[in-house]
Structure 1
Amino acid sequence: MVHPVPEIDVDEHLARTLVRDQHPDLADLPLTWAGTGWDNVLWRLGDDLALRFPVRAASAPLVEHEQRWLPVLAPLLPVATPVPVRTGVPSTRYPWAWSVVPWFDAAPAWRTPVRERAAWVPELADVLVALHRPAPPDAPHNPFRGVPLAPDATVLRERLDRLALPDADRVLALRAELAAAPAWDGPALWLHGDPHPANLLVHDGRLRAVIDFGDVTSGDPASDLATAWLTFDADGRADLRDRLDRARGWDDAVWRRARAWALHLGVVLQMHPVDHPHLAAVGRHAVSEALDGD
């Protein structure tokens, strides 16, 4: 369960050199490492900006998707999003597009106790209602979100075996039962792709921003709705579901598929417990909630 190895180390020298080459007016701002995820490294630039660099070729298109589509989606949403304020282009020093984005004075939701997150359920519901609208045919394709969960759970079984989860058989059985719900038959809707607690930023008990739109795509909203189990407890989840049902009229089949996605994503998030313990904790919470709560 080794974290994907970055193919390029975007260290401080490379980050500052790229800024100096392409955005020289920003080059003398303080630069502070802010974290490295599965796909990108983030450097804070001054007080109000950040630099977002892909570290693997497979993640480079995700930044391009953000650059293309966030300016379209952001005006629809009632909270802040990291719409690029500048873009970087491939060069001899670095082969992929990169972005200069806003820095938000907020904390990821995983740092807040689960019981306190219910306070901003209405705001997240408003985000999902605003986002989940029909997408154009040229919306980004993502084979891992917004699609039916495959009936063959061999890969999930292998992951469960590697994690040695005590409830593996229950996970597989419930996933199979839930994933058999009627398939999505509506239009392909815009999806964030990954609205888990690391991508929801909170400040003073309010939802401040939704970040990391690299997985943005279109399709069945169930994979986005899995956040009900990833992010909340039973009370928060019930409130979120009630608000979304009243606004969008979701049926039970959507929520059954969403719960199946919560099990699936809950296992995936646990695959790198050493490198990303906070995501592993989110995954454990999601599996527990999906197994024991509707």
Structure 2
Amino acid sequence: MTDFHQDGRAGIDAALVRRLIAQQFPQWADLPVTPVKIDGWDNRTYRLGKDLTARLPTHSSYVAAVDKEHRWLPILAPHLPVEIPEAVAKGAPGEGYPHPWAIRRWISGETASTGTVADLDEFARAIAGFILALQNVDASDGPLAGAHSFYRGTPPEHYHDETLEALAALKGRIDTDQAREVWDAALAATWDRSPVWFHGDIASGNLLVRDGRLSAVIDFGTSGVGDPACDLVIAYTFFTGSSRSVFRDAVRQDDAMWARARGWALWKALITEDLTVIERVLSE
């Protein structure tokens, strides 16, 4: 039997999904199961017929998202300007697979890219509108940021040691003195307001486009309530030039929020050695 805890992705395939469906949801047992073209790392996703998907965490660290999304997606959806995943059912461990898993409604669309987005400035305004709408949802009972959100929504200092290690590793390849200044500014710009909803991973891979326009935002696995600075990172990872300026104006966040957002963007770019994003962060 495959040890899913050690190599979760290797142990998940269409045959496993078919067995789980047959065992737990026999009403869908005759539907074809096919891998999606663009898959994530945290979960393996399979299309189930035309209208559904099966989504299986690849590791125990991603399991918390199953219950979280199942509870909160229906509450968030009516308040947001574009489609988000619809929770249909929750699966249980079985057939040797050790984690709970999810069945969602299929959302059509293309992954956002410079080739699929018709107007980047308009797209920037749409993303800003989504972020503001999410922040306006009642957060009083929402899941406080922490391990389930991989510490998105918490102060960036959680990743301080990791950031310093990455800076040391990249010394001589980037301006580490300037990068340290950006990081120190992020640490100093504390969040002192009530928690609000954040998505946690506003990235092109989680944005769907139809007819060149934003149509859906997917994967709320790192969502929660806390400091939403992490949701601004797309300013550095996707937008450039005028679209970045449009996004910054439309999302209406203060300088302290942007200092933390730069820190979040820098941390991720440092640990992945994404020199392009590092340069964007440092050049602002």
TM-score by length of 1: 0.83
Q: Aligned Cα RMSD in Å?
A: 2.6
Deviations 1:80-107 (A, max 9, x none): 1112122212346432221111222222
Cα distance change, pair 140–97 in 1 and its aligned pair in 2 (3 A):
farther
Hey, what's the Cα distance between the residues in 2 that align with 1:251 and 1:214? 26
Deviations 1:63-94 (A, max 9, x none): 22111111111111111111212221234643
Moved more, 31-40 or 171-180: 171-180
Of the structure 1 ranges 53-62 and 94-103, higher mean CA displacement relative to structure 2 is found in 94-103
The correspondence of residues 17-56 of structure 1 with structure 2, limited to 5 A, is 17-34=19-36, 36-56=39-59
Give unpaired runs (5+ residues) of structure 1: 272-282
Q: How many residue pairs end up in the alignment? A: 274
Q: Which aligned runs of 4 or more in structure 1 are off by greater than 4 angstroms?
A: 113-116, 160-165
Q: Whole-Å Cα distance in 2 between the matches of residues 216 and 234 of structure 1? A: 28
Deviation at 1:176, TM superposition (A): 2.6
In structure 2, the CA distance between the partners of 1:23 and 1:259, relative to structure 1 (3 Å rule), is same
- The equivalent of 1:227 in structure 2 is 234
CA shift, 1:216, in A, is 0.9
Residue number in structure 1 paired with 2:106: 103
Whether the aligned pair in 1 keeps the contact of 2:118 and 2:212 (CA below 8 Å) is: no
User: How many Å separate the matches in 2 of 1:224 and 1:22?
Assistant: 36
Question: Identity over aligned residues, as a percent?
Answer: 36
Give the superposition deviation at 1:56: 0.8
Which residue matches 2:3?
none
Q: Which deviates more, 236-245 or 158-167?
A: 158-167
Work out whether residues 182 and 282 of structure 2, in 8 Å CA contact, stay in contact via their aligned partners in 1: no
SS of equivalent residue, structure 2 residue 205: coil
State the one-letter code of the partner of 2:185: L
Partner in structure 1 of residue 245 of structure 2: 238
How far apart are 1:141 and its partner, in Å? 3.3
Which runs of no fewer than 5 residues in structure 2 stay unpaired?
1-5
Aligned 1:73-84 pairs, distance under 5 A: 73-84=76-87
Change (3 A) 1:284 1:211: farther
Q: Output aligned runs, 1:275-294, within 5 Å.
A: 283-293=274-284
Aligned counterparts of 1:171 and 1:151: Cα–Cα separation in 2:
20
CA distance, structure 2, for counterparts of residue 284 and residue 195 of structure 1: 20
Give SS of 2:86's match: coil
**Deviation by residue 1:148-184 (Cα, 9 ceiling, x = unmatched):** 1218743123335557781151563233343144311
Amino acid at match of 2:228: P
1:202-251 deviation digits (Å, cap 9, x = unpaired): 12210111011000111111111122212211311211121122xxxx32
